[in-house]
Amino acid sequence: MTTTDIDFTFCGSTLIGRSIRSLPVVVSTNNLLKAEALEGIAAEGAVVVTDYQTAGRGRLERQWESPPGKSLLFSLLLFPGDSAGKLQLMGLMCSLGVLGGLTEYSQMTNENRGIPIDKISLKWPNDLMVEKRKLCGILSDAGVDKKGRHFIVVGIGININQTFADFPGNIKNIATSLQLISGKTQYRGLILKSILRRLEKYYQRLKQEGFDWIAAEWLDRSGLLGKKLEISDNNGKIHGICTGLQNDGAMRLSLTDGTNKTIYSGDVI
């Protein structure tokens, strides 16, 4: 499947995805859209989608590996106002949008998609997982354009139609795809439209209400409150119970020694 197989006709949104550009190969959709945003030549809501990235990135500068045509790889441009310190929240919001979009897609009545939505979980800060295997990753970049406007570019990569043979050896045991969990070939274009529609709803809410609701809604959907967690960061591993998220998206832990700690960056193991 190539980007030419994706129908980019009207997806029901008024902002996000009103301009969608498909490219067969790019270095990175985030890098491309961020460069255009810095120059002031990309409009809010613009989306760039590709079949293959030669230097795709994940969080913490990790490489995102995906064979051509098997994933849904796209970036979108947003102007949420003063976005200083809001990158984490945008990632949380977009992970909610992806999960909502996948739910909408799975419920389309023309055929049974076979996707077990109840098995897809949110992983702090912005991944989607299925039984500890990564299904989707999200990476946000921020900048200020020539007019002084703060912008955020959100890159989203979802494993759609990979088989186990498509994953390289170093991630074969930690990655999955919609095809693997459903046993069926899935349709990237329909998935993209569903996600963009859901992201539009969340973004309009952000514009109306600000950022404060995001952390609470994400925490409610994640089911992590009160769970024992192990988090790996630059200083090693931390064990504790999740007591909530701050309004900026940082995680609050009650540690085994009775102290409390706020985690701003790390991986939940």
Q: From CA 233, how far away is CA 95, in angstroms rounded? A: 21
pLDDT of residue 42: 93
- Residue 248 pLDDT greater than 70, yes or no: yes
| Segment 179-195 mean pLDDT | 95
CATH 3.30.930.10 fits 3-216, yes or no: yes
- Residue 109 pLDDT greater than 80, yes or no: no
pLDDT of residue 12: 65
- Residue 250 pLDDT greater than 90, yes or no: yes
Query: Is the overall model pTM greater than 0.85, yes or no?
Result: yes
Domain ranges of the chain: 3-216, 225-268
Residue type, 23: L
| Structure confidence at residue 141 as a pLDDT band (50, 70, 90) | very high
For the chain, what percent of residues have pLDDT higher than 90? 75
- Summarised one tens digit per residue, pLDDT across range 12-24 is 678 999 889 999 9
- Residue 55 pLDDT greater than 80, yes or no: no
- Backbone φ and ψ for 137, nearest 5 degrees, come out as -125, 150
Q: From CA 121, how far away is CA 136, in angstroms rounded? A: 10
CATH architecture designation of domain 225-268: Roll (2.30)
| Segment 163-190 mean pLDDT | 93
Residue type, 209: E
- Sheet (strand 120-123) strand order: 20-26, 47-53, 71-78, 150-159, 133-144, 127-130, 120-123
